[in-house]
Each structure stands twice: as structure tokens, then as C-alpha cells.
């Protein structure tokens, strides 16, 4: 028998139109994009396997239903009753390509790129439309991760960006490590600028959720009407300007951690809704009627006295107990002056690379001013002072003339506490004699202990300092707590 040529074999095995029609379902089911066929009246006629995986809807559940079941926020309904087309998709001949959000079977939002093409027969009659859906949720998650990595690079060093070797900071690091392994809510107390955001991020990075999203929200930045939408999302048309579905921060953080800074500024009405979400692990978007399951561990932070707010009926007590399972107190910088040289060196390393200036340190006088200054703005203020110095200085060392006047002013000085100065003595400490203990600090502490009946925790809240600091100062000033409390009665 005469052998067949390659071209003959090719023509014998090539798929013809009949074969394509036979295998077309198998072909479209190999697609990674979701595909659906829609009739001119909006009825879903067919979907592929990828669509089922993306949306959670099985073909038998969705076929025969209107395409509005997916609540696509990019669909523009033509409201003119006299128009032949109920949807703008069928009003033209051009392909439609857009980014939008779908509401899938479990109630959550799915961000997709949608492309739609009109189908017509040879006579130009409208048969329907075919739409392809590309899931971009992983791309959005990748963008979040890139932002997180950028922040980590900027804040590198120390314990996930937190810098310190003092006893109180080492205790904080240990507590963060333990809290990270738990799924319980964490609340971080601390003055403005102490690094509450860094502590929250460290909890995320040290725990099993580190590969999942870390979503932040400053509650003080939004009014009552906006913060609900930010937290829980909203449905299209929920209010004026709600042109699309909006995924809330809790949904974005699903599987990971959500950090709510300035939790003391959240209105009571929102506290009630947050409490319900934390208890039920479910939420409803503003203007929506579908329940969404969420799994996000909540981390909160505040620089306010929540106990006082509870007494003033400005903060819900039940909500406080729900979010404060694991409390962490960040000490102010004035309570750990031995860490100041470490922080200075940390910011010098970062700013030197950023500015390309050959600055390697501070003069003895400048470091002395840094260690004596009270730093009411804490680490954030120190960082700003270093940025100021890098802008002004044109020498290898930053001097008094390069630092902000308020820092250089000796009248702003704070004594170096003996508890820190021993082991964590600042650079050039031998050239700077420590100032005498502040009698006013001792008097304030005694007064606070007298007011609280010797309760160190209540005294710490009254003074706005950590309980560890109260204990250290009791030792430092040789305060006889038993004798003090006996004299009260």
C-alpha cells in the first residue's frame, strides 16, 4: 500500500467544522476564564466549568436565571420603556470591555475583567451575547502584598520595625510574639507616635496569617456615614455616589488581619455593628440584603482612655471587652531613653540610603540633647527630627545646629532614668552628667497611688503610662506602697 504523505495525514486528522461542533463544550471547559452565554432577554443559557469555580454557582443553579443574578455593578440598564433593548450591552455592535465586581453565590464580591461580544446570525438578527470573566482578585492581593513589602523595607530593623533593647520593649516583643499565635482580638494602647501600627503589623507578620491580607483603617479619618461603608462595603445604589459595589475592609482582610487604628473615635452606632460582626463572623453591606461570611482577626489601637469613655457613655463596655482580649501597652519614648541611640542609628541608616548623604552619626552635644529631650511626639517626633537634620546637615555628623530648636533647648530636657541608664547608657553618656530625679514625677505618682488606693493598674491609667513604668518608678523613688496605703485609712 502506498504510504501517505505528511500533508495527507494532516488533512485526515485535522478537526473539521463538524468535529468542532461536537467538541465545543470540551474546548470551552478548558478555558481558565469564566464564560457565559446570555439570551437577548438576559437569560443565562450556558456557562463553562471556570465560571462555576469562580462564582460557586453550578450550571443547573444558574442556567435559566437572569444575568442580573450576578449583580454586576458595570451593567447599565436602559430605563426607556420604549427601547427595544433592556440592557445597553445589546444596543450597539462594539465589544464591551470593563473592570467590575460580581456578587457570587456566597455573597462576597469578586473583582473581574469582563469582555462581552454580541452574537448575530447571517441576517443580522440578534441571537445573544457571550461574556468572558477574568478573575483579578489574586492581582489585587498581590498589589496589597507589594505595598506591605514596601512598608517592611522602609521600617526594617529591630523587631519587625520596632526598635528597642530596654526591658519594657523586650517584654512588648515577647507579648507580640505570643499574641501573634492566637486568633483572639488584640488591642494596642499607646500615646501618639509610639508605633502602634508597627506593633499591629508585627503581630500579623509573626503569626500564621502572615501570608494573608493585612488591611488597615484609621477610624478617625472618616465620619459616621462613611466609616460603615469603609468597614462593611456597600451595594451599588446604596447612596448617592455609590456607582459600583464596594468591598469593605473586612472582606479585603478575609483570612488575614484587619487593623483598626483610633478605635476610640468609632461612633457608638458603628461599635454596635462591629460587635455583631465579631460575634457572628458575618456582615451585610450597606444597602445590601445578603449575608457575607468573614474570617478576619481584629487588631485595634488607641491613644485614648477607653475606661473614661465608657464612664462617659461614649464607648460600649461590651464592645471593649470583645476587642481587648489581649491588651498590649506601648511605652512612651520618655520612659525608655536608653533606646534613643538605637533609634537614632536606625533612622540614620534608613535616611543615609534614601538621601545618599554621607552622614554617619551625631555629635556628643546633639546626642546629649536627644537623650534629654522629653519627646512628647515619641518615636514619630524623633523620626521627624532626624529627617529635619538630614535636610539641614551637610557634614558627616549632625550637630546641635542641625536639629530642631525645640530638641536642642535644654529647658525641654528629661532626666535619664537610673533604671535605663545603667545597662542601656546612651552614646557619649560619660560626657553628659545625668540630671537629678524629677521630684514632680514622684509627687504625681504618689498622688495617683493615693487616689487609686495603691492600685498600680488604675494609677497607670490615671497618669497615662504603662503599669510597668509605675512599678519601675515605685522602685526608683523608694515609695513604700504598704505605708502609703495604710495612711489612707
State which H helix or E strand residue 114 sits in. Answer: strand 109-120
pLDDT at 8 over 90: no
Q: What is the pLDDT of residues 361-400, one digit of tens each?
A: 999 999 999 999 999 999 999 999 999 999 999 889 999 9
- Are 152 and 287 in the same domain? yes
CATH number (domain holding residue 403): 1.10.8.60
Under the banding of pLDDT at 50, 70 and 90, the label for residue 459 is confident
Pair (314, 403) in one structural domain: no
* pLDDT (0 to 100) of residue 20: 62
Residue 4: inside a domain: no
In this structure, the answer to whether residues 108 and 157 fall within a common structural domain is no
- pLDDT tens-digit series, residues 258-281: 999 999 999 999 999 999 999 999
236 within a domain of the structure (yes/no): yes
Based on the fold, state whether residues 319 and 354 are members of the same structural domain.
no
Which pTM was predicted? 0.64
The per-residue DSSP string of 80-101 comes to -TT-S-SBGGGS-SS-EEEEEE
Residue among 418, 410, 428 nearest 361 (CA): 428
Q: Is the residue at 66 inside a domain? A: yes
Q: What are phi and psi of 159, to 5 degrees?
A: -100, 90
175, 273: one domain:
yes
Last residue of a domain, one of 100, 119, 135: 135
- Rounded to an integer, the average pLDDT of 218-233 is 89
Are residues 313 and 244 part of one domain? yes
**Domain endpoint, select from 88, 119, 135:** 135
Q: Which residue has the higher pLDDT, 315 or 419?
A: 315
**Which candidate, 290, 236, 338, places its Cα nearest to that of 108?**
290
Query: Is residue 1 domain-resident?
Result: no
Q: Judge whether 194 lies within some domain.
A: yes
User: Are the C-beta atoms of residues 419 and 437 closer than 8 Å to each other?
Assistant: no
Residue 322 counted as domain residue: yes
Domain co-membership, 322 together with 360: no
Residue 255 lies in a domain: yes
Report the number of distinct structural domains present in the chain: 4
Residues 357 and 405 in one domain: yes
For residue 49, pLDDT beyond 80: yes
Confidence of residue 12 (pLDDT cuts 50, 70, 90): low
Domain encompassing residue 171: 139-331
DSSP secondary structure letter of residue 438: -
Tell me whether residue 361 is in a domain: yes
C-alpha cell at 84: 427595544
Q: Which residues pair with 112 in a beta bridge?
A: 100, 135
Q: Domain check: are 453 and 404 in the same one?
A: no
The reported pLDDT for the residue numbered 9 is 45
Tell whether 184 and 309 lie within a shared domain.
yes
Residues 196 and 321 in one domain: yes
CATH number for position 153: 3.40.50.300
Determine the pLDDT at residue 416: 41
Amino acid at each position: 500500500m502506498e504510504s501517505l504523505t505528511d500533508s495527507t495525514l494532516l488533512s485526515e486528522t485535522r478537526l473539521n467544522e463538524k468535529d468542532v461542533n461536537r467538541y465545543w463544550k470540551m474546548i470551552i471547559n478548558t478555558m481558565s476564564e469564566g464564560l457565559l452565554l446570555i439570551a437577548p432577554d438576559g437569560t443565562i443559557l450556558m456557562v463553562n466549568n471556570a465560571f462555576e469555580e469562580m462564582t460557586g454557582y453550578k450550571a443547573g443553579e444558574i442556567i435559566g436565571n437572569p444575568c442580573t443574578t450576578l449583580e454586576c455593578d458595570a451593567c447599565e440598564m436602559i430605563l426607556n420603556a420604549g427601547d427595544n433593548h433592556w440592557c445597553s450591552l445589546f444596543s450597539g455592535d462594539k465589544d464591551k470591555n470593563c473592570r467590575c465586581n460580581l456578587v457570587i453565590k456566597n455573597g462576597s464580591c469578586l473583582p473581574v475583567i469582563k469582555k462581552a461580544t454580541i452574537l448575530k446570525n447571517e441576517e443580522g438578527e440578534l441571537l445573544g451575547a457571550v461574556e468572558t470573566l477574568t478573575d483579578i482578585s489574586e492581582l489585587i492581593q498581590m498589589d496589597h502584598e507589594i505595598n506591605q513589602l514596601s512598608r517592611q523595607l522602609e521600617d526594617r530593623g529591630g523587631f519587625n520595625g520596632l526598635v528597642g533593647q530596654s526591658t519594657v520593649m523586650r517584654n512588648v516583643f515577647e507579648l507580640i510574639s505570643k499574641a501573634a499565635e492566637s486568633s483572639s482580638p488584640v488591642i494596642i494602647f499607646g500615646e501618639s507616635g509610639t508605633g502602634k501600627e508597627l506593633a499591629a503589623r508585627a503581630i500579623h507578620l509573626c503569626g500564621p496569617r502572615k501570608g494573608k491580607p493585612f488591611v488597615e483603617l484609621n477610624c478617625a479619618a472618616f465620619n459616621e456615614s462613611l466609616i460603615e461603608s469603609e468597614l462593611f462595603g456597600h451595594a451599588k445604589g446604596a447612596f448617592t455616589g455609590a456607582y459600583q459595589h464596594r468591598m469593605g475592609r473586612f472582606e479585603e482582610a478575609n483570612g488575614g488581619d484587619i487593623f483598626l487604628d483610633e478605635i476610640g473615635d468609632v461612633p457608638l452606632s458603628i461599635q454596635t455593628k462591629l460587635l455583631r460582626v465579631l460575634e457572628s463572623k458575618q456582615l451585610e453591606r450597606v444597602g445590601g440584603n445578603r449575608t457575607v461570611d468573614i474570617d478576619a482577626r481584629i487588631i485595634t489601637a488607641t491613644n485614648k482612655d477607653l475606661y473614661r469613655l465608657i464612664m462617659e457613655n461614649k464607648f460600649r463596655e461590651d464592645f471593649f471587652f470583645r476587642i481587648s482580649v489581649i491588651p498590649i501597652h506601648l511605652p512612651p519614648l520618655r520612659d525608655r531613653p536608653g533606646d534613643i541611640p538605637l533609634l537614632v542609628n536606625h533612622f540614620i541608616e534608613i535616611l543615609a540610603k534614601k538621601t545618599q548623604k554621607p552622614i554617619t552619626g551625631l555629635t556628643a552635644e546633639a546626642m546629649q540633647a536627644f537623650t534629654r529631650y522629653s519627646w512628647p511626639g515619641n518615636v514619630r517626633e524623633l523620626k521627624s527630627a532626624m529627617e529635619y537634620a538630614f535636610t539641614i546637615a551637610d557634614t558627616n555628623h549632625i550637630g546641635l545646629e542641625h536639629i530642631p530648636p525645640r530638641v536642642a533647648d535644654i529647658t525641654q530636657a528629661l532626666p535619664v532614668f537610673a533604671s535605663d541608664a545603667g545597662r542601656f547608657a546612651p552614646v557619649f553618656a560619660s560626657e553628659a552628667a545625668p540630671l537629678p530625679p524629677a521630684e514632680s514625677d514622684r509627687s504625681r505618682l504618689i498622688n495617683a497611688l493615693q487616689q487609686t488606693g495603691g492600685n498600680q493598674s488604675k494609677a497607670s491609667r490615671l497618669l497615662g503610662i504603662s503599669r510597668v513604668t509605675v512599678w519601675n518608678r515605685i522602685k526608683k523613688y523608694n515609695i513604700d506602697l504598704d505605708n502609703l496605703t495604710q495612711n489612707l485609712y
